[in-house]
Structure 1
């Protein structure tokens, strides 16, 4: 089942290493079938507040998401992001086709 890596980037401190991360990150996603769905978008907040930016990456399944995050290639560039961006990152599975919220009691 499709899975997603979701990142809430609360605070970004500009630095050249962020550019390096952006230059390299797609190559780390490719072997795991990862692709950006949302990247640093301007959000239209309709309830509450959302300080920061949002990133959503789709993977074929949760194992692929973990495989990417734990890979040597990604670990080699991770600090380029974490040293300069305060961020929460979660992985979540998607829901099956035809899912109805009412079935989740």
Structure 2
């Protein structure tokens, strides 16, 4: 199942460190099947307030995402981003193609609502 590395960067301080990070990240993704899905495009906000930058990288599965993040190649460039950007980075599994919204509900809550 596809998994994702998601970054919500609330402040990016552009400079040489960020340039080095961006120049190096593509080569770290390739061996693990990673590819950018979203990379900094401003969202069209429909509800609420959004600040920051969103990055989403898809991987074939959560194991590949974990191995990429922990890889020596990624760890070597990571300080260039971490020292120059604030935010949250996370790895998360996707959902299967047949996922329904109610799949997240405990069966007893679903039964009680019917």
For the criterion TM > 0.5, the same-fold answer is: yes
Q: TM-score, normalised by structure 1?
A: 0.96
Rounded to whole Å, the distance in 2 between the matches of 1:12 and 1:20 is 14
2:5 alignment counterpart: 5
Q: Larger Rg: 1 or 2? A: 2
What's the TM-score once normalised by structure 2's chain length? 0.89
Counterparts of 2:56 and 2:67 in 1: how far apart (Å)? 16
Give the aligned length: 105
Paired residues for 1:1-105 under 5 Å: 1-105=1-105
Q: State the Cα distance separating 1:103 from its structure 2 match.
A: 2.4
- Runs of 5+ in structure 1 lacking a partner? none
| Other structure's SS at 2:89 match | strand
Which digits, 9 at most, give the CA deviation of each residue in 1:37-72, with x for residues without a partner?
Answer: 000111111111111110000000111111000000
SS, match of residue 47 in structure 1: coil
Root mean square deviation of aligned Cα:
0.8
Larger helix proportion of the pair: 2
Give 4+ residue runs of structure 1 displaced > 6 Å after superposition. none
Q: Distance in 2 between matches of 1:104 and 1:85?
A: 33
In 2: Cα distance, 1:96 partner to 1:36 partner:
20
Give the deviation of 1:26 after TM superposition: 0.5
- Cα distance in 2, alignment partners of residues 28 and 4 from structure 1: 15
- 1:20: how far off? 1.1
SS at match of 2:7: strand
